[in-house]
Amino acid sequence: MERTSITNAKAKQWVDEQVALCQPDAVYVCDGSQAEYDRLMKELVDSGLGTPLKARKNSVLFRSDPSDVARVEDRTYIASQKEEDAGPTNHWINPDELKKTLSGLSAGCMKGRTMYVIPFSMGPVGSDIGKNGIEITDSAYVVCNMHIMTRVGTKVLDLINQSGKFIPCLHSVGKPLASGEKDLGVWPCAPMDKKYIAHFPEERAIWSFGSGYGGNALLGKKCLALRIASVLARDEGWLAEHMLILKLTNPEGKVKYVTGAFPSACGKTNLAMLIPTIPGWKVETIGDDIAWMKFGADGRLYAINPEAGFFGVAPGTNNESNKNAMESAKENTIFTNCGLTEDGDIWWEGIGYPAKGTLIDWKGNKKPAPAKDKSPKGEEIAHANARFTAPAKQCPCIAAEWEDPKGVPISAFLFGGRRPSTIPLVHQSRDWNHGVFLGSIVGSEVTAAVISDQVGQVRRDPFAMLPFCGYNMGDYFQHWLDLGKQSTADNLPKIFYVNWFRKDADGNFIWPGYGDNSRVLAWIFDRCDGKDNAVETEIGLMPKDGAINTQGLNVSPAAVKEILSVDREGWKKEIKDIREKHYPKFGAKLPPELAAELDKLEKRLG
């Protein structure tokens, strides 16, 4: 097809170069229309890759190859010119060497396929905080997901044609087709050793090969919105963070916006769509995963959600844990690696109800429905990282201003992880540098959302950015410290550390979590308003007795006291672990301010 809609010389040249390299049978420039989405989805269904869901309007289920089910961290690279610029937490390959490898793999990689050219905007189209990209892909599944997750279409292409500014993103499933060959319903991807998710930070470019799944293939998501955007943010003086954005309204009608960074499987999406259990409070969603923040003229940080949809983990999502997510995915949704019921609906472990009759699991095998809403280990119906891709506008609690191009002013940052001991329910940093210290020591359990042999172990995940920071994490810490000098303490967001996952001696969660986390958010809201509801402790500011509303909670006063007290011995072990195992990773790049915060904490604990 003609590429007449691409008139910018730089963009046209880049697309032409990829056409020459990948050798597709056809080239199609996406317009972002509903007709385009419907046509491509029908092609996917007709080819046997997608299964329409009779029980859900305009919704389709896909099953990926068992080798292509999640982010592949050990195949994800930051190809900076210097290895030290990638840092100790990233995989590095020399950019020239990596381009040579990828060029060899990509030569003719789209034979037998259509090359789709996707002009997309991260953030509301035209926002000063947003960025534009062009993703080239040979996957119609990727196009349809990008339709939901970003703003795709001619308006974006018009901006790119005018400015010539875009992030180039090249993707291929890595499975060319011989003449007359079809996929025949088999998920196309390359073997694991041929998968590459490559980022070139100096060039602001992304090149992904061999995977058709999730963040490996939807290049606006983690690749652009975090790994490349974090480099842009460092160079341009803003923040690109793995954070939800919430709008909180108190009973008096006062509004505040907060962001929160939580590693995988720590209730981040649940918190983003929380239904409060305390009367008079309202919680609404601006974003569930990523926040881009820039300083406004008033010295405050303003945030946008650069995404347009939710790419949520399905297992464990139910009407109790996240009713709003369930409502968001009722129609117009793409499901991947979920189970299929006899009546044409999806099913997964933890959905909140048992299925009937026979199910088809995520590998396409027929199985009797489990008696409950969970399956024996190793016999799961849905993959642990099964996903739903749903439009954010369908969320019942989406805030009216979620697409405001100016963004929303942020009053607080929340950090948190899944920790059964030591870390209290909530504490506030003493100042900005102490808050950056808290972000730098976040730790949580490894989950099935990544392919790893460390599932179940606790690891440090600073700022929940460990897999997503596009440069040296020591320099990233310094960027946060430097940002604190760009504004006043009054204008900067307050910083808090929360932990919903404390356990008692019997291994049971002490805090009920879910909607009851609104009780902690209410305390944080009041702290941002300057309310005198905190006491100073060795680890930071903590709620005064009675400052957290526990009315109607089935938690004993002794248990509340336990999760709102300082575990001195636990913190001493924490300091030892940070000092011996965590901070040394960053070597000379560790900012001295953070080492000083660790020393001060140790001194306060005695």
Encode pLDDT of 462-498 as tens digits.
Answer: 999 999 999 999 999 999 999 999 999 999 999 999 9
pLDDT band at 264; cut points 50, 70, 90: confident
How many Å apart are CA 521 and CA 477, to the nearest integer?
Answer: 26
Encode pLDDT of 169-224 as tens digits.
Answer: 999 999 999 999 999 999 999 999 999 999 999 999 999 999 999 999 999 999 99
Choosing from 169, 189, 266, 469, which is the catalytic residue? 266
How many Å apart are CA 160 and CA 144, to the nearest integer?
Answer: 21
Transcribe 43-90 into DSSP letters: HHHHTTSEEE-TTSTT-EEE---TT-SSB-GGGEEE--SSHHHH-TTS
Does the structure show a pLDDT above 50 at 604? yes
pLDDT band at 3; cut points 50, 70, 90: low
How many Å apart are CA 51 and CA 464, to the nearest integer?
Answer: 34
Q: What is the pTM of this model?
A: 0.96
Contact 360, 366 (CB under 8 A): yes
Place of tokens 């070139």: 200
Contact 151, 244 (CB under 8 A): no
How many Å apart are CA 433 and CA 444, to the nearest integer?
Answer: 22
**pLDDT value for 135:** 98
Instruction: Tally Cβ neighbours within 10 Å of residue 98.
Output: 18
**pLDDT value for 266:** 86
Contact 61, 153 (CB under 8 A): no
Contact 374, 220 (CB under 8 A): no
- DSSP code of residue 386: -
How many Å apart are CA 446 and CA 266, to the nearest integer?
Answer: 10
pLDDT band at 1; cut points 50, 70, 90: very low
**pLDDT value for 233:** 98
Between the two ends of the chain, the Cα-to-Cα distance in Å is: 71
pLDDT band at 445; cut points 50, 70, 90: low
In a 10 Å sphere around its CB, with 0-12 CB exposed, 13-18 middle and 19+ buried, how is residue 176 labelled?
buried
37-47 b/e with 16+ CB inside 10 Å = b?
beebbeebeee
Encode pLDDT of 373-432 as tens digits.
Answer: 999 999 999 999 999 999 999 999 999 999 999 999 999 999 999 999 999 999 999 999
How many Å apart are CA 258 and CA 528, to the nearest integer?
Answer: 10
Encode pLDDT of 485-532 as tens digits.
Answer: 999 999 999 999 999 999 999 989 999 999 999 999 999 999 999 999
Least confident segment among 18-22, 170-174, 453-457, 559-563 = 453-457
> What is the mean predicted confidence (pLDDT) over 64-85?
97
Instruction: Tally Cβ neighbours within 10 Å of residue 344.
Output: 14
pLDDT band at 459; cut points 50, 70, 90: confident
**pLDDT value for 444:** 78
Encode pLDDT of 300-359 as tens digits.
Answer: 999 999 999 999 999 999 999 999 999 999 999 999 999 999 999 999 999 999 999 999
**pLDDT value for 267:** 86
How many Å apart are CA 595 and CA 587, to the nearest integer?
Answer: 11
**Residue 577: its H or E element:** helix 568-577
Is 266 noted as a catalytic residue in this protein?
yes
How many Å apart are CA 120 and CA 166, to the nearest integer?
Answer: 9
Please state, in angstroms and as integers, the Cα–Cα distance from residue 52 to each residue in 48, 139, 389, following that order. Answer: 10, 18, 15
Please give the domain boundaries of the chain with CATH numbers for all domains: 9-52+60-237 (3.40.449.10), 240-309+399-605 (3.90.228.20), 311-392 (2.170.8.10)
∠ Cα 557 559 560 (to 5°): 65
pLDDT band at 4; cut points 50, 70, 90: low
For the record, the structure tokens of 559 come out as 């248990």
How many Å apart are CA 29 and CA 117, to the nearest integer?
Answer: 5
Closest listed residue to residue 63, CA positions, set 356, 335, 468: 335
Query: How far is Cα of residue 29 from the mean position of the Cα atoms in its chain?
Result: 27
Encode pLDDT of 277-308 as tens digits.
Answer: 999 999 999 999 999 999 999 999 999 999 99
How many Å apart are CA 87 and CA 97, to the nearest integer?
Answer: 18
Average pLDDT for the chain: 95
Residue 42 contacts by C-beta under 8 Å, 6 or more apart in sequence? none
In a 10 Å sphere around its CB, with 0-12 CB exposed, 13-18 middle and 19+ buried, how is residue 19 labelled?
middle
**pLDDT value for 480:** 98
Does the structure show a pLDDT above 70 at 553? yes
**What is the share, in percent, of the chain residues with pLDDT greater than 90?**
94
